């Protein structure tokens, strides 16, 4: 075995040790509801319903439609059935799932950059605060990031190998991710544009790629819409887009406009949305207020959206770590924008408050430094792709980051960055490889290969 390949084993063990140590700490310090954040109880509730009764709709009251997609509750229920109805078993499975994601990141980086950069990407993945933290939460992130990264792996494999089977796999996995969270619903249009622009052997093959990907993506999406039709009476995947705009974005805008609070405006908005959330008519009144406010105060909408995207891009995973280890802290309590005081005082409080554990404070400080450094490494890697004229990978990664960051404008936070964290890791790994090459060999043209 080559010495570089030993890093895969060593850092796999490091990740397992860090993630399981965190799991053990949480289970021994929180006996009531360990591994849980704001949304966790709702996931567990639906999972136990499916686990005990084999279905998600038990009575007429359930037909008001679940707050979110049911893929993750079914994932939980399956683990409950096979192993045990214990959340520590779920955490073990999620730790393994995230480790598999680290191997997928390694494989993608290996395809794009080569083995040396792939090793760096794997190490960064195993030490990633977000990966370690969210593997210990009863939340969708571990399963969702695994599916999205699997899509990336198969799609990049198709770009390099031109094997249509990989293209079909990528579409299916991306479609399945909608069962967990419908974040990728509109990302397909970016992929179709990319497929249309590829220089394949003929226009027919371009058309074939478009059709195959669209069919493989929409097969699981339409299946879920049929499920909603049978169980909730509406042929619809989700109303999450409307809920994000009307229940999360609009109250933030109205709170600024009316000089009230977001919670007050959310309560007012909730009164306007009766009945089945999948029924578009339920959102009519909220939609009218949204249109009227948007036409008059569009600059406030832009400001709020941009602020939330920035929260997603630059929020700290260590804040989520504090929520995990501090049972008295809930998600959203430690927001930079909710803290009082001068700018640098708010930064200091955001980084250091929320925990008495010096280890967590140290992690937060190191994460701040690392977050600033990796901006330059990402830019260097993107420039490298342009200089090497690897446009298909450049636009894939740019589309991916832009799309999954932009859609978080309704309610941004570091948690949502998990959707595109693998792409950032892959780019940072190449940036570090370039930096190391320059230090070691005193020369590293942007177009030079390392392998």
Q: Cα 358 to the chain's mean position, in Å?
A: 28
What integer pLDDT is reported at residue 447 of this predicted model? Answer: 40
Query: Is the Cβ–Cβ distance between 167 and 155 less than 8 Å?
Result: yes
**With bands split at pLDDT 50, 70 and 90, how would you rate the model's confidence at 448?**
very low
Distance CA 331, CA 38 (A): 6
In the three-class reduction of DSSP (H, G, I as helix; E, B as strand; rest coil), residue 317 is classed as: helix
- Does pLDDT of 416 surpass 50? yes
Distance CA 79, CA 89 (A): 8
Query: Is the Cβ–Cβ distance between 269 and 251 less than 8 Å?
Result: yes
Instruction: Tell me what percent of the residues of the chain surpass a pLDDT of 90.
Output: 60
Query: Is the Cβ–Cβ distance between 322 and 362 less than 8 Å?
Result: no
**With bands split at pLDDT 50, 70 and 90, how would you rate the model's confidence at 76?**
very high
Distance CA 414, CA 94 (A): 19
Q: Is 323 domain-assigned?
A: no
Query: Is the Cβ–Cβ distance between 276 and 234 less than 8 Å?
Result: yes
Q: What sections of 233-316 are H helices per DSSP?
A: 240-243, 250-258, 262-270, 284-296, 298-314
Q: Six-digit token pair at 37? A: 């954040």
**With bands split at pLDDT 50, 70 and 90, how would you rate the model's confidence at 450?**
very low
Average pLDDT for 408-433: 95
**Stronger pLDDT, 256 or 85, i.e. the higher one:** 256
**Stronger pLDDT, 189 or 232, i.e. the higher one:** 189
What integer pLDDT is reported at residue 191 of this predicted model? Answer: 96
Distance CA 182, CA 37 (A): 20
What integer pLDDT is reported at residue 60 of this predicted model? Answer: 55
- Give the Cβ contact number of residue 89 at 10 Å: 15
**Angle at which helices 317-325 and 3-29 pack, to 10 degrees?**
40
What integer pLDDT is reported at residue 115 of this predicted model? Answer: 92
φ/ψ of 315, rounded to 5, equals: -65, 155
The rounded radius of gyration (Å) of the Cα atoms in the chain is 22
- Does pLDDT of 360 surpass 60? yes
| CA distance from start to end of the chain | 18
- Does pLDDT of 275 surpass 80? no
Instruction: Tell me what percent of the residues of the chain surpass a pLDDT of 70.
Output: 92
Which of these ranges, 65-79, 91-105, 211-225, has the smallest mean pLDDT? 65-79
Average pLDDT for 50-68: 64
Q: Which DSSP string corresponds to 427-439?
A: HHHHHHHHHHHHH
Token pair 């893929």: residue: 71
Q: Is 22 domain-assigned?
A: yes
What integer pLDDT is reported at residue 148 of this predicted model? Answer: 98
Summarised one tens digit per residue, pLDDT across range 312-350 is: 999 999 999 999 998 888 767 788 877 788 888 888 888
* Secondary structure percentages of the chain, helix, strand, coil, to 5: 75, 0, 25
| Burial state string for 201-220 with b = 16 or more CB within 10 A and e = fewer than 16 | eeeeebeebbebbeebbeeb
Distance CA 149, CA 171 (A): 12
Q: Count structural domains, the chain.
A: 1
What integer pLDDT is reported at residue 451 of this predicted model? Answer: 46
- Of the ranges 68-77, 132-141, 194-203, which is most confident? 132-141
Query: Is the Cβ–Cβ distance between 166 and 158 less than 8 Å?
Result: yes
- Does pLDDT of 382 surpass 90? yes
Q: Is 303 domain-assigned?
A: no
Q: Is 249 domain-assigned?
A: no
Q: Is 258 domain-assigned?
A: no
What integer pLDDT is reported at residue 449 of this predicted model? Answer: 46
Domain range for 209 is: 3-241+350-441
Which of these ranges, 125-139, 348-362, 431-445, has the smallest mean pLDDT? 431-445
Which of these ranges, 251-260, 335-344, 437-446, has the smallest mean pLDDT? 437-446
SS3 of 378-391: the string is: HHHHHHHHHHCCCH
- Does pLDDT of 356 surpass 60? yes
Per-chain mean pLDDT for the chain: 88
- Does pLDDT of 61 surpass 60? no
Average pLDDT for 78-97: 91
Summarised one tens digit per residue, pLDDT across range 234-249 is: 788 876 677 888 888 9
- Give the Cβ contact number of residue 66 at 10 Å: 21
Distance CA 241, CA 308 (A): 16
What integer pLDDT is reported at residue 276 of this predicted model? Answer: 64
Summarised one tens digit per residue, pLDDT across range 11-46 is: 999 999 999 999 999 998 887 788 988 888 888 888
Q: Is 279 domain-assigned?
A: no
- Does pLDDT of 57 surpass 70? no
């Amino acid at each position: 075995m080559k010495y570089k390949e030993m890093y895969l084993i060593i850092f796999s063990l490091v990740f397992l040790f860090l993630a399981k140590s965190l799991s053990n700490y949480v289970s021994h310090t929180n006996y009531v509801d360990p591994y849980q954040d704001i949304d966790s109880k709702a996931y567990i509730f639906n999972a136990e319903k499916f686990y005990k009764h084999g279905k998600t709709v038990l009575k007429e009251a359930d037909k008001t439609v679940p707050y979110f997609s049911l893929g993750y509750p079914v994932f939980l229920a399956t683990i409950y059935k096979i192993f045990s109805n214990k959340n520590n078993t779920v955490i073990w499975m999620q730790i393994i799932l995230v480790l598999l994601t680290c191997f997928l990141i390694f494989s993608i980086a290996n395809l794009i950059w080569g083995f040396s950069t792939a090793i760096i990407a794997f190490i960064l993945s195993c030490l990633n605060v977000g990966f370690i933290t969210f593997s210990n939460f009863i939340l969708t992130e571990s399963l969702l990031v695994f599916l999205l990264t699997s899509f990336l792996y198969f799609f990049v494999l198709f770009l390099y190998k031109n094997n249509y089977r990989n293209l079909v796999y990528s579409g299916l996995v991306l479609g399945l991710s909608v069962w967990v969270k419908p974040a990728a619903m509109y990302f397909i249009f970016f992929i179709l544009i990319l497929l249309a622009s590829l220089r394949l052997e003929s226009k027919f093959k371009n058309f074939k790629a478009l059709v195959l990907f669209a069919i493989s993506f929409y097969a699981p999406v339409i299946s879920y819409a049929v499920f909603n039709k049978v169980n909730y009476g509406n042929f619809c995947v989700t109303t999450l887009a409307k809920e994000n705009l009307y229940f999360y974005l609009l109250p933030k805008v109205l709170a600024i406009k009316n000089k009230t609070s977001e919670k007050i405006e959310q309560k007012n908005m909730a009164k306007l949305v009766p009945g089945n959330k999948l029924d578009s008519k339920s959102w009519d009144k909220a939609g009218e207020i949204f249109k009227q406010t948007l036409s008059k105060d569009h600059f406030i909408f832009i400001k709020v959206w941009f602020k939330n995207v920035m929260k997603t891009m630059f929020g700290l995973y260590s804040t989520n770590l504090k929520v995990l280890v501090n049972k008295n802290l809930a998600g959203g309590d430690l927001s930079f924008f909710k803290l009082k005081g001068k700018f640098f005082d708010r930064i200091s409080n955001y980084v250091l408050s929320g925990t008495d554990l010096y280890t967590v404070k140290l992690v937060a400080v190191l994460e701040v430094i690392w977050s600033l450094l990796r901006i330059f490494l990402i830019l260097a890697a993107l420039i490298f792709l342009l200089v090497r004229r690897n446009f298909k990978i450049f636009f894939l990664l740019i589309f991916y980051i832009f799309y999954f960051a932009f859609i978080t404008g309704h309610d941004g936070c570091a948690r949502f960055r998990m959707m595109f964290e693998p792409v950032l890791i892959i780019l940072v790994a190449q940036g570090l490889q370039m930096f190391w090459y320059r230090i070691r060999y005193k020369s590293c043209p942007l177009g030079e290969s390392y392998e």
